Amino acid sequence: MKAKLSPLQLKDIQIIRLNLDENIKGEKKFNIDIDFEPVKVNIDEKEYEGLIFYLKVNNRNRKVRLKVDTEVLAIFEFEEGLPPEKKAQLLLYNGLSIIYGFLRGLIFQKCSYLRPEDRLLPSINLLDIIDKKLKDKNNNS
């Protein structure tokens, strides 16, 4: 079956900061903190939608096998004619999944000292994170 392209496409991804610490003797834990903010990005006089994505793994833990602190800018393109509500929905739900999946692979590849099961970040519930972020935003408005 031929695959249909998504109305949301990743145009570019830029790693602003990536700090990885590996400790073979550390404890296996995955305390994951995520935050994000939508941004507008101008490239060659054209405006794109983007997300700045912050990921911290075991940020407050000591003696763990893996610590991560990263900030990423992802820039997306949309299929023409999409309504703004649909764009916002795609950007949050699909965009965040794309970024997290990208970072899972990057971290797995970059961590060469740890066993595979110690460097593969678990799947997470992005819906919960998005809902909490939107509630916080609405409460502060």
Give the tens place of pLDDT for each residue, 93-116.
999 999 999 999 999 999 989 999
Angle of CA points 90, 130, 116, to nearest 5°: 90
- pTM (global) more than 0.95: no
Q: pLDDT band for position 14 (50/70/90)?
A: very high
